[in-house]
């Protein structure tokens, strides 16, 4: 299928959409007849693109994410307008429309990236005709993932979106310390900074970065974003430390919207006033909550969980899995995450696939091709290590012992302050030998470099899809390995249990990861790394306790039949 030739949903006239939906959902008396009658006639109508003016066609290429005919039309337009006027005129109008359609839920991430690809092709074609001094920039933004953090995918999306909407973006990469940002400020004289980070620890690193920038007397606007960051944290912690304006964006498109308002004279003042107002209100609510916080209630004693029979693992050796065939992981891919969260499909992916929804099929096609290449051309590699330890709980602590009986490590887990007062240590016996497994897996080797090369070539959809596939393969690997451990441990899942149920954790025991709500202490990653030595297959830990490469997952595995996921505080 040539996806570029597909017409986008919002471009299909309302009446035609209704006819197609009537057919899919079998609405009305005879939807087939109505559909056939309409389209039999419509075939005779001229294709809509030729009815459009040259400017409208140029905008449309961008909105449709299509390059079929784009260069010819650009050459025609060059006979009547300067290249910069073409970029700032019909092409940018197209990108503005893409932003509007995305915010209106009519376009998905993958389609926005296709539009960015068309924009990049157009600008690259026009650039040689431009004067050296000419520049179409709305502003320069220095973008970076903060110190200790290897998060790339979110930051790269921001780069693609901003750089194809008229901004000059200087992407400093990952693990960027404040000194480097300060140096970049002096070298590039940017109009704003953009900081990204995945974890809570990175949000805290943003506070430190804001303080350092302030000490360096830097006050340009500071955009911040990331999965674990909230508007409230940005207002009460980062903005409070920074000398200039701090702007939080929940996603790349909101970042673009804010940048457009900020760097356009008519909207700037109103935006700054709104953000300051919102941040003052958030800070006031936060301090009111602190003041009225009730005294810590008397803690109910924790309930003792049933002491279950302990299954014995096959051994206590360290096992290394190198180059696990990707086809063993693929069945464990969570398509809701991959197609939904990362590529933007809205709704239940499984159901949409079954119904033959065109958008989901398009995304499916892109991912399937990449999956084939990942295997055939060796784009992704899956490595991991696992090991069981003898374990014994004492209060909220679990001690691990190696095969010789020597204490190898201890983990102290937080206990819930109210409710069931759960603590992970409750899942390990305190009166007899018990066992726990640890593992670390990665599918990220080489992904950063390849995704970056594709991004620089303007292959945005593939670049983003590769990063998304890698991180979801890491998660799939974790799920597959956990399933294998249950089998080896002597309590396999029922053979009829489908993988879709495993993805909902409908099995005995749990797999938790440091940084998740039941065991939030990320510093424990260092102990897990000491025990598993994943460095031997290229997986290392940053000073922020993040695993490098990005597409990696670590876990603790408990067998207790009553074990469940919970938040400790
Ligand atoms: C998918 C996912 C993963 C994936 C990929 C992570 C990734 N790089 O994105 C995998 C499976 C690899 C993973 C691993 C881990 N994860 Co995780 N993960 C998630 C999840 C479910 C979604 C994250 C996501 O959407 N990523 C996709 C990218 C594109 O989104 P994004 O980063 O948010 O970026 C967008 C916006 O935030 C914004 N943005 C980002 N930066 C910027 C910058 C600017 C300037 C602007 C304007 C906007 C902007 O625009 C981006 C695009 O629209 C979140 C929970 C959640 N619902 O958010 C947990 C979450 C982030 N993970 C978490 C944890 C703990 C981990 C692990 C440490 C667990 C472990 N021990 O293995 C590891 C760490 C990985 C490592 N390398 O060390 C915690 C973090 C909490 C904490 N304590 O810090 C979360 C919040 C889950 C939770 N509720 O506990 N994870």
- Tokens for 295, please give them: 């005294």
Asked whether this chain's domains 139-287 and 319-558 adopt the same fold, the reply is no
Distance CA 400, CA 558 (A): 13
The CATH code of domain 319-558 reads 3.10.196.10
**pLDDT value of position 46:** 45
For ligand 1, atom 59, which residue shows the shortest CA distance?
227
Helix (H, G, I), strand (E, B) or coil at 84: helix
Q: For a ligand 1 pocket test, name from 150, 152, 198 the mutation site with the most ligand atoms within 8 angstroms of its C-beta.
A: 198
Q: For a ligand 1 pocket test, name from 174, 227, 442, 541 the mutation site with the most ligand atoms within 8 angstroms of its C-beta.
A: 227
**390 CA from centroid of ligand 1 (Å):** 32
- The reply to whether ligand 1 has any atom less than 6 angstroms from the CB of 551 is yes
Count other Cβ atoms within 10 Å, centred on residue 422: 23
Question: Looking at ligand 1, which atom is closest to the CA of residue 467?
Answer: 8
Query: Is the previous residue joined to 549 through a cis bond, with omega within 30 degrees of 0?
Result: yes
**294 CA from centroid of ligand 1 (Å):** 32
**482 CA from centroid of ligand 1 (Å):** 21
- The reply to whether ligand 1 has any atom less than 6 angstroms from the CB of 218 is no
For ligand 1, atom 4, which residue shows the shortest CA distance?
471
For ligand 1, atom 3, which residue shows the shortest CA distance?
471
- The reply to whether ligand 1 has any atom less than 6 angstroms from the CB of 340 is no
Residue ranges of the chain with pLDDT lower than 70? 1-7, 40-50, 133-134, 136, 290-298
- The reply to whether ligand 1 has any atom less than 6 angstroms from the CB of 546 is yes
Distance CA 2, CA 440 (A): 39
- Tokens for 6, please give them: 């597909």
Taking Cα atoms as reference points, which of 242, 234, 243, 244 lies closest to residue 278? Answer: 234
For ligand 1, atom 58, which residue shows the shortest CA distance?
227
Taking Cα atoms as reference points, which of 371, 376, 551, 375 lies closest to residue 462? Answer: 371
> In degrees rounded to 5, what are phi and psi of residue 429?
-70, 145
> Which residue's structure tokens are 């008397």?
298
Q: For a ligand 1 pocket test, name from 141, 154, 551 the mutation site with the most ligand atoms within 8 angstroms of its C-beta.
A: 154
Summarised one tens digit per residue, pLDDT across range 478-508 is: 999 999 999 999 999 999 999 999 999 999 9
- The reply to whether ligand 1 has any atom less than 6 angstroms from the CB of 517 is yes
- The reply to whether ligand 1 has any atom less than 6 angstroms from the CB of 344 is no
Distance CA 444, CA 298 (A): 47
In sequence order, the β-bridge partners of residue 248 are 224
Rounded to 10 deg, the angle between the 54-64 and 70-78 helix axes is: 140
**pLDDT value of position 4:** 55
- The reply to whether ligand 1 has any atom less than 6 angstroms from the CB of 472 is no
Question: Looking at ligand 1, which atom is closest to the CA of residue 228?
Answer: 86
Q: Which residues are within 8 A (CB) of 93 and not within 5 positions of it... i.e. 6 or more apart?
A: 59
CA-to-CA separations, 243 to 211, 231, 238, 334, 431, in angstroms, rounded: 8, 18, 10, 42, 56
**229 CA from centroid of ligand 1 (Å):** 10
Distance CA 275, CA 218 (A): 19
- The reply to whether ligand 1 has any atom less than 6 angstroms from the CB of 380 is no
Question: Looking at ligand 1, which atom is closest to the CA of residue 440?
Answer: 72
**449 CA from centroid of ligand 1 (Å):** 20
**88 CA from centroid of ligand 1 (Å):** 34
CA atoms in the 13 A half-sphere facing the CB of 135: 8
Question: Looking at ligand 1, which atom is closest to the CA of residue 197?
Answer: 41
Taking Cα atoms as reference points, which of 265, 275, 264, 202 lies closest to residue 239? Answer: 275
- The reply to whether ligand 1 has any atom less than 6 angstroms from the CB of 238 is no
For ligand 1, atom 24, which residue shows the shortest CA distance?
227
Map out the domains of the chain as residue ranges.
3-129, 139-287, 319-558
CATH of the structural domain 139-287, one choice from 3.40.50.280, 3.40.50.1980, 3.40.710.10, 3.40.50.300 = 3.40.50.280
pTM: 0.91
**CATH class of the 3-129 domain in this structure:** mainly alpha
Q: For a ligand 1 pocket test, name from 515, 526, 545, 552 the mutation site with the most ligand atoms within 8 angstroms of its C-beta.
A: 515
Q: How far apart are the first and last CA of the chain?
A: 50
Under 8 Å between Cβ of 133 and 34: no
């Amino acid at each position: 299928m040539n996806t570029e030739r597909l017409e986008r949903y919002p471009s299909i006239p309302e009446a035609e959409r209704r006819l197609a939906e009537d057919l899919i959902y079998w609405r009305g008396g005879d939807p087939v007849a109505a559909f056939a009658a309409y389209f039999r006639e419509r075939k005779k109508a001229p294709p809509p693109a030729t009815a459009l003016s040259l400017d409208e066609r140029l905008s449309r290429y961008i909105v449709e994410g299509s390059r079929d005919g784009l260069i010819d039309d650009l050459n025609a337009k060059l006979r009547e307008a300067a290249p910069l006027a073409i970029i700032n005129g019909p092409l940018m109008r197209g990108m503005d429309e893409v932003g509007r359609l995305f915010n209106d839920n009519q376009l998905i991430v993958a389609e926005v990236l296709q539009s960015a690809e068309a924009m990049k092709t157009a600008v690259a074609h026009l650039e040689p005709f431009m004067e050296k001094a000419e520049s179409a920039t709305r502003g320069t933004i220095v973008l970076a993932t903060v110190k200790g953090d290897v998060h790339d995918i979110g930051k790269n999306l921001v780069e693609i979106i901003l750089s194809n909407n008229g901004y000059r973006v200087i992407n400093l990469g990952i693990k960027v310390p404040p000194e480097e940002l300060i140096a970049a400020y002096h070298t590039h004289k940017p109009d704003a900074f953009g900081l990204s980070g995945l974890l809570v620890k990175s949000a805290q690193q943003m506070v430190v970065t804001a303080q350092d920038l302030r000490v360096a007397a830097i006050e340009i606007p500071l955009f911040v974003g990331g999965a674990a960051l909230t508007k409230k944290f940005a207002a009460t912690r980062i903005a409070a430390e920074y000398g200039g304006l701090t702007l939080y964006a929940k996603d790349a498109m909101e970042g673009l919207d804010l940048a457009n308002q900020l760097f356009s004279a008519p909207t700037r003042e109103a935006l700054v006033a709104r953000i300051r107002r919102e941040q003052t209100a958030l800070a006031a609510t936060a301090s009111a909550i602190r003041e009225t916080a009730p005294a810590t209630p008397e803690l109910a004693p924790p309930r003792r969980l049933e002491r279950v029979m302990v299954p014995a693992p096959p051994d206590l050796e360290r096992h290394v899995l190198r180059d696990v065939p990707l086809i063993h992981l693929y069945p464990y891919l969570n398509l809701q995450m991959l197609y939904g969260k990362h590529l933007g499909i809205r709704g239940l992916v499984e159901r949409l696939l079954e119904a033959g929804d065109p958008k989901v099929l398009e995304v499916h096609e892109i991912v399937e091709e990449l999956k084939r290449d990942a295997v055939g051309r060796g784009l992704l590699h899956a490595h991991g290590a696992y090991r069981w330890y003898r374990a014994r709980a004492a209060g909220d602590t679990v001690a691990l012992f190696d095969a010789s009986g020597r204490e190898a490590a201890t983990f102290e887990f937080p206990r819930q302050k109210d409710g069931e007062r759960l603590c992970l240590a409750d899942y390990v016996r305190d009166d007899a030998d018990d066992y726990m497994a640890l593992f670390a897996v990665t599918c990220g080797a080489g992904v950063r470099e390849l995704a970056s090369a594709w991004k620089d070539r303007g292959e945005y959809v593939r670049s983003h899809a590769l990063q998304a596939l890698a991180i979801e393969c890491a998660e799939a690997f974790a799920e597959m390995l956990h399933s294998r451990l249950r089998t080896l441990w002597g309590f396999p899942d029922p053979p009829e249990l489908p993988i879709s149920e495993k993805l909902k954790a409908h099995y005995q025991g749990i797999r938790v990861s440091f940084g998740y709500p039941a065991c939030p202490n990320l510093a424990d990653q260092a102990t897990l790394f000491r025990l598993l030595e994943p460095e031997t297959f290229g997986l290392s830990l940053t000073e922020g306790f993040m695993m490098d490469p990005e597409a990696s997952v670590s876990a603790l595995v408990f067998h207790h039949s009553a074990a469940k996921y919970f938040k400790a505080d």
